[in-house]
């Protein structure tokens, strides 16, 4: 019987680190799913996570619906890989949670990633978002890098899991 969701890799941060990388991603799945729980050192309630495929920062765009106690939209040359709690977010055990679904990651065409995530702390300053990101590149995705957008580091006890999804 099929094993639809398979764990490809997991990262548990023990100290601090500048990013999270998944490398040597096999091409044997249909889609990919990233689930993460992150907290960063940014002096804010929340932090966005930038996403790169294959170490390439070009040909990236996104459209986003997001809210910080309200609702906004924006777009730009970037890919969103989720939301994390910032260091102002209390208590220190508060983490952001996100999921990123990447379809046809091994196909020879542009890649679409759907992300939804947020951080919460019983306050009005945290952020929730839903994003469609595009990597306009035909190369199969073999690595994924998640980096705090504003340059901080990822704190201990943060976790990130990469799953491969098979449709047969």
Partner 1 sequence: MALTYEPISQGIVSSLAAYFEFTNIPNTYTDLVVVADCKYNSGGGDLNWRINGDTGSFYSWTRFEQLNSNRANTTTLINTTDATQQALIIGHFFNYANTGVQKVVLSQSGNVQQNVGLSVGTWRKTDAITSIQIYAELSGAQWAIGSRFSLYGIKAA
Residues that bind partner 1 (CB under 8 A): 1-5, 30-31, 61-65, 73, 75, 101, 103-104, 109-110, 112-114, 116, 130-134, 136, 166-168
State in angstroms the smallest separation of the CB of 90 from partner 1: 29
d(CA 149, CA 153): 10
State in angstroms the smallest separation of the CB of 16 from partner 1: 31
Largest CA distance in the chain: 48
Strand order in the sheet with 46-53: 20-22, 144-148, 46-53, 80-85
State which residue, 9 or 65, has the beta carbon closest to partner 1: 65
State in angstroms the smallest separation of the CB of 149 from partner 1: 18
State which residue, 74 or 123, has the beta carbon closest to partner 1: 74
State which residue, 42 or 128, has the beta carbon closest to partner 1: 128
């Amino acid at each position: 019987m099929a094993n639809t969701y398979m764990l490809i890799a997991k990262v548990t941060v023990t100290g601090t680190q500048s990013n999270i990388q998944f490398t040597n991603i096999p091409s044997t799945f249909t889609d990919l799913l990233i689930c993460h729980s992150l907290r960063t050192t940014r002096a804010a309630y929340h932090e966005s996570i930038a996403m790169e495929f294959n170490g390439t920062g070009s040909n990236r765009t996104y459209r986003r619906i997001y809210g910080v106690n309200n609702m906004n939209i924006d777009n730009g040359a970037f890919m969103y890989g989720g939301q994390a709690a910032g260091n102002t977010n209390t208590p220190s055990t508060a983490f952001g949670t996100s999921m990123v679904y990447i379809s046809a990651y091994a196909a020879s065409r542009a890649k679409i990633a759907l992300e939804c995530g947020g951080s919460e702390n019983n306050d009005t300053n945290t952020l929730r978002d839903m994003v469609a990101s595009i990597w306009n590149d035909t190369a199969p995705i073999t690595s994924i890098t998640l980096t705090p957008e504003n340059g901080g580091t990822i704190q201990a006890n943060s976790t990130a899991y990469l799953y491969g999804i098979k449709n047969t």
